Structure 1
């Protein structure tokens, strides 16, 4: 039991470090994903991921690709720590009978981990999306053929002041702290948890797919049952499982992104809930709309979870907690 108590903080450290490194590397692609998912038919500003990134750099500079990164980097450590540590916790207790883990138990552990992580994920995503989508709204106003609107449909005063701009201007900087304070003032704590149901709908299935798939792929790389897989195999397994799970739940991610976007451009729909959002997207944009940003999301999740597994293999957390040598050094 003492070993379990020592290893849990180490896992939290591993998850936090992996999250920070991963988010820093892939955040621009995540920004492109959010903007592509929020586009409506007839109002497309970006053709694809590359076009989105190029236009973002041209209009907002290199730092424009990192809009909302601060809130992600701040909250990704507890988010990844909860997700990974909770999965290990539930796997440990579900295998106490000595008979190991069946696929069903692995999926149950992943499901439980996904439910735990939304405590952090929902407000993190809520704030991040507002900041990421700001440039799309301005670019939409600038696009030829779209009548610029001087008043965007909004539900947030801070965002309104930042985004009510003329077509030739750039939105004034607004911080995640300002948005959070305004939401708490006007809607209470539930304001930060707008889209909670959709977040659960995305993250629970993601964890159900990801954790068992990674465990089985990683097992294929083990020289023997008692040995660990090489770090490169863990990285590949993490990438494969992460991208597969990301694409599988992309329709849920589209719904979540739309529901959590407080600001709407001209003639963009508002939604009353998950079912209403799903129905309107299907009716007005067709089934293909649910795959918007799927490629970006796969590219984001692959290295993110590959890095997570490498951190676990290297044992940075264990090194910090116990001063034992890192695996790659000792090998």
Structure 2
């Protein structure tokens, strides 16, 4: 209902729980996506998502697929909470007149949500990418030593705290926000596509004019809208991943910004490089947002908040 009062704390709880459940389920695929996107023509180590995961398990064991998961699980709660709650807030604000939201207003609400979330998303992905890509650089040094600069130091098993301290020491807070522009260019269009598409797909599955859609409809709508938006913005995700990766092999390009990254990728790898990891990203985002929407609409946060006052009595 357009006039339904939104409980912000409940939405924050729902978004946080949804993020934790979703990330836990799909993180290995996200790791494969990062490593595939970071591969350049002269240092291709993995041929596919399955090849990447198999080689990761062989070299690092099962838990090697969860490199960087701790950072994601810690920060995904505020990130998803901000994203989902902000979209809800903007949708409510834009429908104060009681009229059904137009497509433009739905896109505007999504734009606001995407803009709000980058405060958490940028440092989270900055740290996550370093941790996820560390294993690729280790394997590259062992299997393709000619692609690694002689004497280049590769930290074998960095921790999030080590990376954070080094970034803060060398570059200050700006070090954690490297790639902010690329993150905005990815997350704002993603939200503009995702939220209106989800809302309209979910609306199609409602049982009645006023009743909510069944949970499986919300799940499928979240999957379809998430995968569509993920593939649409994948070129920018490739750019963001490349810019945020601090360590490179000896024959791999480094980038000074979005424009420089686009130019070098087109020159050395061609337009097809912007689709690297697209199917992995779709496989990550589809269940992540499907699960998120189910958790969100189940109203776990509302149940928790309604229970707390009863305990106080």
Q: Same fold (TM over 0.5)?
A: yes
Does 2:236 align with 1:252?
yes
Aligned partner of 2:197 in structure 1 is: 213
* Count of matched residue pairs: 306
Residues 29-44 of structure 1: pairs in structure 2 closer than 5 A:
29-44=29-44
Tell me: CA distance 1:47–1:205, structure 2 relative to 1, closer, same or farther (3 Å).
same
Distance 1:37 1:144 in 2: 18
Residues 99-248 of structure 1: pairs in structure 2 closer than 5 A:
99-144=99-144, 146-152=146-152, 160=153, 163=154, 171=156, 173-248=157-232
Give the secondary structure class of the aligned counterpart of 1:146: helix
Give the secondary structure class of the aligned counterpart of 1:42: helix
| Matched-pair contact (CA < 8 Å) for 2:43–2:147 | no
Give the secondary structure class of the aligned counterpart of 1:323: helix
| Matched-pair contact (CA < 8 Å) for 1:16–1:78 | yes
Distance 2:151 2:30 in 1: 27
Distance 2:5 2:97 in 1: 17
- Per the TM alignment, residue 177 of structure 1 is displaced from its structure 2 partner at its CA by 1.1
| Matched-pair contact (CA < 8 Å) for 1:142–1:148 | no
| Matched-pair contact (CA < 8 Å) for 1:83–1:116 | yes
**Farther off after superposition, 179-188 or 255-264:** 179-188
Distance 2:277 2:148 in 1: 25
Aligned partner of 2:311 in structure 1 is: none
Distance 1:243 1:18 in 2: 17
Does 2:288 align with 1:287?
no
Distance 2:278 2:137 in 1: 21
| Matched-pair contact (CA < 8 Å) for 1:123–1:192 | yes
Does 2:8 align with 1:8?
yes
Give the secondary structure class of the aligned counterpart of 2:42: coil
Note the aligned Cα RMSD (angstroms). Answer: 1.6
Cα deviations by residue, 1:53-80 (Å, 9 ceiling, x for unpaired): 0000001111110000000000000000
Stretches of structure 1 that go unaligned for 5 or more consecutive residues are 153-159, 165-170, 325-331
- Per the TM alignment, residue 149 of structure 1 is displaced from its structure 2 partner at its CA by 3.3
